[in-house]
Structure 1
């Protein structure tokens, strides 16, 4: 279920499947499998998650093998030293690349954040995005006789909770399978037409400076088979090489 993409004596980078929690949470008390425990068992030592990846999001996740390395890595995540690249399937045609600077109010949990400041000012949130593919399907979802979707590459320049999901919803192009910020009609269509229960968002690539050697490390993961199966039905390329974002030369806007 967990695939190791990179490992040395200091770090381990894995591919997390959709639906798997990173670590234990009181919000999901019945769950018995977690990425952190799986990685620990694979590498044979305690590991420390360096960033979060939402449960329904699949893709690249980085762990440190010691608390000391975790401390060395944290500044890169807080000071934008990490380049993150995502792919998402969204509703509608995204026709042009864009740079969205749209502050987001912090999403608070009713129980866990009951004592937090409920009137906190919106936080800076910036996302670059690029359209890659489009498809029009002969199915009526809502008021139109056909349905349009786009594959979009995204690079978050900040790290707000659910930033990509909220930003795409703000652009009226919600990510398919997003049950919180998405479009319920299109989510239902994908469940019924494609037997898809997932959020169509993947952390595709990650670039960072190694905390010990200083070397720039660039890692990209493959799309899961369910993406390829869906793309085949759309008439898109089924070659993994066609979706390698680090080779696309996507530049800042």
Structure 2
């Protein structure tokens, strides 16, 4: 066992020293790290440090010989079948992030009764010697479309901050039963969750209810088949569970095939009984600067419905990254 010097990467900028060690040596306890710093065995650029020091790219961290327990076990090899399956979902990737087109019916994360989900498949996207990719956000199991994956913890933190700061534009396409009045607008309807886990139900709530959470969605009618069915573009301005599905229900136009909301009205005869909600486009600030816009093609069951109703979706644009500070729209 020898002394090792590791260079702080751009991805690790402003990370606390103890969190940096937790990332690289997850089995090293906080107490052990504090002792190593206190005795001068851990140093940054040759100087003594405390565990709460913020790191900068290019700095050199001196790592003394560590007990065997501090070395993380190598990750198990990914299931080849799941690795091939998730690879087929990739519609964009670069050194910082990956964008997937998740199929309807595949859960994003595990839970009661869920034996297969995207999170368990991410090992198949790990590059040799690299970090395990990680989820940045989630979409419902029955919703298809864009899912954003960070390649490193640092990128995940930046993208999560962008989501919290409302600097990300998400556009969904939906086929709904009926036609909204007016044809476009903002749905400002607080929501409340009843229950927990996979059985949780979200309902419209009064503003003065204790558990009510503010929820706003923008919508626009792109086409309609009379007053029976309509094609909407939806953009959630807040990020509540099942927000778009409940908001569409509250304005009297439930999403076609919704298994949880809308009741019988969401299941007219003659159409595939699957949720017609698709995460169509994502416009994000790229972690390396500029903005990235990625679009996912409609799933097969929605293409069939579009064809039956005479809706024309057009071509799916290729991913577009605009460097610098300007947005793509």
Shared fold by TM > 0.5?
yes
**For residue 118 of structure 2, what is the aligned residue in structure 1?**
35
Contact 1:169–1:182 under 8 Å retained in 2: yes
**Paired residues, number:** 220
For structure 2, list consecutive stretches of 5 or more residues without a partner in the other structure.
1-84, 201-208, 318-328
CA distance in 2, matches of 1:216, 1:51: 18
User: Which structure ranks higher in relative contact order (CA pairs < 8 Å, sequence separation ≥ 6)?
Assistant: 1
Of the three residues 110, 125, 131, the one matched with 1:24 is: 110
State the secondary structure of the residue aligned to 1:72.
Answer: helix
State the secondary structure of the residue aligned to 1:76.
Answer: helix
Contact 1:105–1:120 under 8 Å retained in 2: no
**For residue 218 of structure 2, what is the aligned residue in structure 1?**
128
CA distance in 2, matches of 1:36, 1:12: 13
Contact 2:125–2:132 under 8 Å retained in 1: no
CA distance in 1, matches of 2:198, 2:253: 30
For structure 1, list consecutive stretches of 5 or more residues without a partner in the other structure.
114-118, 137-146, 243-250
Pairwise CA distance, 1:186: 3.9
Pairwise CA distance, 1:135: 1.0
180 and 41 in structure 1: CA distance in 2 versus 1, 3 angstrom threshold: same
CA distance in 1, matches of 2:216, 2:178: 21
Contact 1:89–1:200 under 8 Å retained in 2: yes
State the secondary structure of the residue aligned to 1:84.
Answer: strand
Cα deviation 1:86-130 (Å, max 9, x = unaligned): 0111111125111111111134317999xxxxx743111111100
RMSD of equivalent CA atoms: 2.4
Larger Rg: 2
State the secondary structure of the residue aligned to 1:127.
Answer: strand
State the secondary structure of the residue aligned to 1:197.
Answer: coil
Of the three residues 80, 93, 106, the one matched with 2:193 is: 106
Is it true that 1:61 corresponds to 2:136 in the alignment? no
CA distance in 2, matches of 1:179, 1:7: 33
CA distance in 2, matches of 1:108, 1:74: 26
188 and 40 in structure 1: CA distance in 2 versus 1, 3 angstrom threshold: farther
TM-score (norm 2): 0.61
Contact 1:107–1:161 under 8 Å retained in 2: no
Contact 1:232–1:238 under 8 Å retained in 2: no
Pairwise CA distance, 1:159: 0.3
State the secondary structure of the residue aligned to 1:99.
Answer: strand
Pairwise CA distance, 1:43: 4.5
Pairwise CA distance, 1:237: 2.4
Contact 2:254–2:266 under 8 Å retained in 1: no
Pairwise CA distance, 1:238: 5.9
Contact 2:180–2:252 under 8 Å retained in 1: no
Pairwise CA distance, 1:148: 0.3
State the secondary structure of the residue aligned to 2:279.
Answer: strand
